[in-house]
Structure 1
Amino acid sequence: MMDSARMSALAYCQFLLSPQINYTLTYFADHVKKFSHDRINRYLRGEHLRPHLVWENVRTEMVLSEHGYLIFDDPVLDKRYSSHIEGVRVQYSGNAHAVIPGIGVVSCVYVNPDLHRFWEIDYRLYDPDVDGKSTLQHACEMLSQACYKRRLLFRGVLMDTWYATKWFMRVIERMGKCYYCPLKTNRLVTTSALAGTYQRVAPPWDGLQKKTSPANRCISVISRMVIA
């Protein structure tokens, strides 16, 4: 019977992996008949699915490599057609190429380039009204946990422009890791510790390996450097 079926995190996560477009509670109840709408609603209101569940389920499946990388990204879950949902805020979405209402997610992915495989190992919800944390702070926490607590084997960090800050780069360097990230061409950088040697990151610039992106006027750079 429908009411005798017990709702669980496994059942809910399996549902989230199945649909291509609709992930709503109503859609779940309509297509998984053993769970009523009310039962699913009560479960989601009372259950707290924490980020550590991702790690617990993926840790035994991962294949580590000394050439591995951690990737940090911050996708926005589009909520333009929803209202009164917790965590929704107006923010820029790279997928929509516009500022939209959505839920920000900071994700951490482990990549094994030797096997051409990857695993999402951690995430954080961007909700500064609740915890007061920026996406950069979330990324730093996940990086520290991956390096010091989980002791993952990796050589560097791949990240977007938003994470390419002097503070975060120094955090990575103190771990003995390298980084690869795009920088806006109006930033000032130097490969020297000497004062007064900063220059704009603008083509042509021969200090580091670079790749110009006309779309957003960025240059991709490989560590190490000092940013003004």
Structure 2
Amino acid sequence: MNKNNQIFELYIDYLVTSFSYTTATGLSNLLDGEISHDQITRFLSHKQFSSADLWKNVKKEVREIESDEGVLIFDDTVQEKPYSSENELINWHFDHTVGRSVKGINLLNCIYHSNGASLPVAFKLITKPIQYSDISTRKIKRKSETTKNDDLIEILKACKQNKLKWRYVLADSWFSSIGNMKFIHDKMKKYFLLALKSNRLIALNKEDKLQGRFQRIDSLDWSGTPICGWVKGMDIPVVLHRQIFKNKDSSEGILYLISNDIELDKDAIETIYQKRWKVEVFHKNIKSNTALAKSPAKTIRTQSNHIFMSLLATVKLECLSIKKGLTTFGFKMKLYIKAQKAAIEALHREQASTA
């Protein structure tokens, strides 16, 4: 094994087992200096890891869980890094979970869920290399060269090229554009099950569609069963469903869902879409358990490559947790307890040596 391959494996293990900030010096110290921090930094700088590299490294594990009923789940996450220097990667992104723009990393993930496991099969780091002056504020701002909808389509093309088996694309309303739905139906020949915003326009029959008589989805007379109709901008019939649920604070929430699989009933729609939650769990894992933002890397390449390694560390954590019959957080806690026991034993040995 050459040095870079050795560091590659060690860095993944370092992220899985770490409970705080991860640094090249920290890993070198763990290895008693066998690999210097300079060697680790050079490893993070030597090439730009890509989404294609992710697939090469997870392909074996994905094939083991793959099935025709698998789903592809798309979502992005924003990780704040308020004290890092701004660049193309770390800059201002709108975070819909807090309703404002925050300074940090924006990561688009494609998660494959099948047979009880959820693994990343593609990703896109949202960079903003284009700088421009905002007319109203005259402040310099940044923007991406592509939209997230463009990125979703490119990822779907890659999944097809990789001969990945799947049945549905699941995503929230940020990805339910007409272009995405048409691409999934026409080009991929697959099904989508997406959330819709309440202002989307729907025709309830073919005549209304041809006459341009559309109405907002939140104004429809919902009886509790799905409705067939036509969404404005598309020529295929779709099934629509209004799901009512309880939020954590006991308030009522409403979710509008759309699919081109018109054979789906209420229970099937809700059961399948529930799988979308797996991407939220994945994002929690990569932030809390595999040190997504806990690296002081300075350059765009080393920052990007650290994130790539964090994705692979999450894959390893997921696979180990399943084999042990634990949640990822349960497995991580088990590692923490073992580490703490080892630390206490080391403390007692040090005390004994100085007595």
TM > 0.5: yes
**Cα distance, 1:17 vs. partner?**
2.5
Q: Which of 163, 166, 189 is equivalent to 1:151?
A: 163
**Cα distance, 1:150 vs. partner?**
1.2
Conserved? CA contact 1:29–1:37, under 8 Å:
yes
**Cα distance, 1:69 vs. partner?**
0.6
Matched residue of 1:127: which SS? coil
Q: Which residue of 2 aligns with 1:163?
A: 175
Shift in CA distance, 170/58, structure 1 to aligned 2, threshold 3 Å:
same
Q: Which of 195, 219, 224 is equivalent to 2:255?
A: 219
Which has the larger displacement, 84-93 or 28-37?
A: 28-37
**Cα distance, 1:125 vs. partner?**
0.8
One-letter code of the match for 1:50?
Answer: S
Matched residue of 1:128: which SS? coil
- Is it true that 1:13 corresponds to 2:12 in the alignment? yes
Which has the larger displacement, 50-59 or 23-32?
A: 23-32
Q: What's the TM-score once normalised by structure 1's chain length?
A: 0.82
One-letter code of the match for 2:198?
Answer: T
Q: Which of 67, 74, 77 is equivalent to 1:75?
A: 77
Shift in CA distance, 203/32, structure 1 to aligned 2, threshold 3 Å:
farther
Unaligned runs of 5+ in 1: none
- Is it true that 1:187 corresponds to 2:186 in the alignment? no
Q: What's the TM-score once normalised by structure 2's chain length?
A: 0.55
Conserved? CA contact 2:129–2:145, under 8 Å:
yes
Higher relative contact order (CA 8 A, sep 6+): 2
* Bigger radius of gyration among the two: 2
**Cα distance, 1:199 vs. partner?**
1.4
Which has the larger displacement, 135-144 or 27-36?
A: 27-36
Listed one character per residue, the Cα deviations across residues 149-189 of structure 1 (whole Å, up to 9, x for unaligned) are: 11211111001221011111111111222212221112223
Conserved? CA contact 2:25–2:36, under 8 Å:
no
- Aligned runs of 1:27-66 on 2, under 5 Å? 27-33=26-32, 34-62=34-62, 63-66=65-68
Q: Aligned partners of 1:205 and 1:31: how far apart in 2? A: 63
Shift in CA distance, 218/129, structure 1 to aligned 2, threshold 3 Å:
farther
Q: Aligned partners of 2:214 and 2:245: how far apart in 1? A: 22
One-letter code of the match for 1:100?
Answer: V
Listed one character per residue, the Cα deviations across residues 98-126 of structure 1 (whole Å, up to 9, x for unaligned) are: 421111111111111xx222211111111
Conserved? CA contact 1:182–1:218, under 8 Å:
no
Shift in CA distance, 83/26, structure 1 to aligned 2, threshold 3 Å:
farther
- Aligned runs of 1:129-148 on 2, under 5 Å? 129=129, 132-147=145-160
Conserved? CA contact 1:184–1:217, under 8 Å:
no
Q: Aligned partners of 1:28 and 1:93: how far apart in 2? A: 32
Q: Which of 102, 105, 108 is equivalent to 1:103?
A: 105
Q: Which residue of 2 aligns with 1:126?
A: 126
**Cα distance, 1:51 vs. partner?**
1.8
**Cα distance, 1:26 vs. partner?**
4.3
Shift in CA distance, 111/170, structure 1 to aligned 2, threshold 3 Å:
same
Root-mean-square deviation (CA, aligned residues, Å) is 2.8
Unaligned runs of 5+ in 2: 131-143, 228-239, 262-355
Listed one character per residue, the Cα deviations across residues 107-148 of structure 1 (whole Å, up to 9, x for unaligned) are: 111111xx222211111111132771221111111111112x
**Cα distance, 1:86 vs. partner?**
4.9
Q: Aligned partners of 1:93 and 1:20: how far apart in 2? A: 25
Structure 1 runs of 4+ aligned residues shifted over 6 Å read: 213-217
Shift in CA distance, 199/219, structure 1 to aligned 2, threshold 3 Å:
farther
Conserved? CA contact 2:242–2:254, under 8 Å:
no
Q: Aligned partners of 2:192 and 2:26: how far apart in 1? A: 42
**Cα distance, 1:12 vs. partner?**
2.2
Structure with the larger helix share: 2
Aligned length: 218
Listed one character per residue, the Cα deviations across residues 195-228 of structure 1 (whole Å, up to 9, x for unaligned) are: 4132112155442222247889763313139xxx
